[in-house]
Structure 1
Amino acid sequence: MAPGGERPLPERLLAVATRLFAENGYEGTSVQEIVESAGVTKGAMYHYFAAKDDLLYEIYHRLLALQTERLRLFAAGAGPAEERLRAAAIDVIETSLAHLDEVTVFFRSMHLLPVEKQKAVRAERRRYHETFRTLVEEGQREGTFRAGVPADLAVNFFFGAVHQISTWWHPDGPLDAGSVGDYYVGLFLDGLRTDPDGSQG
């Protein structure tokens, strides 16, 4: 924290930009509105972020970096693959819902990033998905998950569902984040498990 407990300027700009992008849309928010809400000048903002799209990229990059670091810990942990995959899957849902504005803003606006930044984001997401996929493959080798289900398809199925949560879930709704995580992950793992007799289903 900055002196007096105030957020460092880059953090304050990102927080303000996230809120305004979520409320008004990325295209509906001007740099002037961001700096006025943050109580700084454009020059101060441009010291940290060269353009508005740098804010959009950084909003998602930071969330993905957080989730990637946590996923690596789950993947490298001890215990059966199913337990680690469950923990990782619940974590990605709970961290996404804890940062709902960031997720909402990004999936509404990713296509507005410059091509090079879109490529960078896709590369980061691909690395994340590959790590997640290794847990599915490990469970298949252990015989816990059906070997006939392509691991890539399972991962894309799960994340496709996760990315849709921001279109319908609200913190004040009937389901809290923990319940959503339990239901989604239960459905995901039920679809991967072998039958109780060890058959592939």
Structure 2
Amino acid sequence: MKDVSVADEVTRAAVELFAAQGYANTSVQQIVEAAGVTKGAMYHYFESKDDLLFAIYDRMLTLQQSRLDEIIARGGEVDDVLRAVCVDVIETSIDFLPEGTVFFRSLHMLSAPRQQEVTRRRRVYHDRFAALLQQGQDAGLYRTDIPQPVLIAHFFSDVHYLSHWYSPEGPETKSEVAEQLTDLFLTGIRLTNGSAT
């Protein structure tokens, strides 16, 4: 239990420092001081600062992929499944708001192999999301006059922008924001009488 808390404390301190002052401006010494551990303890879990940055992404990506898999495995009408996926990725992104801030600011600073791994894993998520869209299009639920990559970029641009404006202290809860953004997205892609196909 103690070992797990050391890794967690180092990760928590790194997220806070990377979000506040940037990855490049944060030293290993600052991280271990903020975590209240020694460098030796940190290096027991993380080989380098790059390793620590990747671990932050890994935690968020692993959770969101796991949640996506669970929602799809439950089955149901494609529109309900897609709604649940959209709501979940927004809510988990809000839960990991500091990590998301670090992600988009510092992804380019990862080593090339780590950047490729992050890109690969994000592609797996996006491909499963695209497959849900395709199912809905095949069922005549969603419009097909706009390319799928544009529809996907439209939704995820809202998700990626959350860290720029959302505050847990604000008037809307994460669930309210998730439902609102999901409604806007689904309304925009859903076929209605007179919609282009």
Pairwise TM-score range, normalised by the shorter structure = over 0.9
Equivalent AA in structure 2 for residue 20 of structure 1 = L
Which stretches in structure 2 are left out of the alignment for 5+ residues? Answer: none
Tell me what 1:124 maps to: 121
Shift of residue 78 of structure 1? 2.0
| Counterpart residue identity of residue 106, structure 1 | F
1:147 Cα deviation after fit: 2.6
* Residue 198 of structure 1, CA deviation: 7.6
Letter of the aligned partner of 2:73 in structure 1?
A: A
Poorly superposed stretches of 4+, deviation over 3 Å: 197-201
- 1:141 corresponds to 2:138: yes
Distance 1:173 1:40 in 2: 34
Equivalent residue number for residue 100 of structure 1:
97
Deviations 1:88-141 (A, max 9, x none): 000000001011111111111111111111111111101110011111111111
Q: Distance in 2 between matches of 1:123 and 1:174?
A: 36
Tell me how far 1:199 sits from its aligned partner: 4.9
Aligned to 2:84: 87
Cα drift, residue 175 of structure 1? 2.2
- Alignment equivalent of 1:154, drawn from 145, 151, 154: 151
- Structure 1 match to 2:112: 115
Q: Is the 8 A contact 1:75 1:131 kept in 2?
A: no
Question: Given residue 196 of structure 2, which amino acid in structure 1 is its aligned partner?
Answer: Q
Aligned residue pairs, count: 197
1:103 and 1:189 map into 2 onto residues whose CA distance is 24
Query: Is residue 196 of structure 2 the alignment partner of residue 200 of structure 1?
Result: yes
In the alignment, the residues of structure 2 paired with residue 129 and residue 166 of structure 1 have an alpha-carbon distance, to the nearest angstrom, of: 20
The reply to whether residue 68 of structure 1 matches residue 70 of structure 2 is no
User: Could you tell me which residue of structure 1 aligns to residue 55 of structure 2?
Assistant: 58
Structure 1: 5+ residue stretches without partners: none
Q: Which residue of 2 is the match for residue 168 of structure 1?
A: 165
Is residue 191 from structure 1 mapped to residue 188 from structure 2 by the alignment? yes
